[in-house]
Amino acid sequence: MGMSIEELNNHKDNIILSLNKAEREYESAKTNHILHIILSIMTAGVWVVVWLFIANWNIHKRTNLEKIIDESKASVKDIDNQLRLIPNGDDINTTECPWCAEIILQKAKICKHCGKEVN
């Protein structure tokens, strides 16, 4: 706890980077079964061993990546929730100065631009 908005955003960016990487790896960890059927036929069935090995490897890889992707998504959600609890610049209520029309804080008693009393 006690991380600043900037730290949380940096942390979130890092997680999103690794999440994107994991999603790309997940997509590429697909077995091209049609290619393996052709290779198996061409090698009179010898290739089936390689095919099974690769298919099994990809299933294993995708299972691991799924876990990483789920965990990363949960972390991003968690950080978003933490960010929501921290008041930031956007949450500070502003208003227009009735004298000079510059944007000032609603809480302000004196306009920082024209120096006149407001509210």
Cβ nearer to Zn ion, comparing 77 with 113: 113
Spatial distance between the Cα atoms of 47 and 38, rounded to a whole number of angstroms: 9
Spatial distance between the Cα atoms of 6 and 89, rounded to a whole number of angstroms: 13
Cβ nearer to Zn ion, comparing 46 with 101: 101
Q: Which residue has the tokens 């407001």?
A: 118
Other Cβ atoms closer than 10 A to 72: 20
Among 60, 84, 107, 113, binds Zn ion (CB under 5 A): 113
Q: Are 82 and 88 in contact (CB under 8 A)?
A: no
Cβ nearer to Zn ion, comparing 16 with 100: 100
Site string for Zn ion, 23-42 (x = CB under 5 A): --------------------
Q: Are 36 and 51 in contact (CB under 8 A)?
A: yes
Contacts (CB under 5 A) with Zn ion, residues 48-107: 97, 99-100
> Please, what is the minimum distance in Å from the beta carbon of residue 105 to Zn ion?
12
The conformation of residue 89, written as its DSSP 8-state character, comes to G
Contacts (CB under 5 A) with Zn ion, residues 5-24: none
Q: Would you tell me which residues interact with Zn ion (CB under 5 A)?
A: 97, 99-100, 111, 113-114
